Amino acid sequence: MPNQYAPGTTSILIRLPKAWKKRLKSAAEKLNKNNPGAKYSATSIALSAIMARIEEIEKE
């Protein structure tokens, strides 16, 4: 069904400056433009960055 989260997931709220939100959305648009058929979103980019950083910290 649409608008339902995947099982085993949760949500978090991230506050960031409006300029950064705009940059994040622009980055998603650029990725989608450069990769036809891709479905990048601000959320997917943020999630990827968060996961990469956590993995980096865990390796320390």
Where do the structural domains in the chain lie, given as residue ranges? 18-59
Hey, what are 29's tokens? 């648009």
Helix H, strand E, coil C: the string for 9-29 is: CCCCCCCCCHHHHHHHHHHHH
Give me the mean pLDDT over the 1-30 stretch. Answer: 91
Q: Is the pLDDT of residue 42 over 90?
A: yes
The reported pLDDT for the residue numbered 39 is 92
Each residue's pLDDT tens digit, 2-11: 678 889 998 8
Distance, in Å, from the CA atom of 48 to the CA atom of 54, rounded to the nearest integer, reads 10
**What's at 5, amino acid-wise?**
Y
Query: What is the sign, positive or negative, of the torsion defined by CA atoms of 6, 8, 13, 19?
Result: negative
DSSP structural state of residue 35:
S
Q: Is the pLDDT of residue 27 over 80?
A: yes
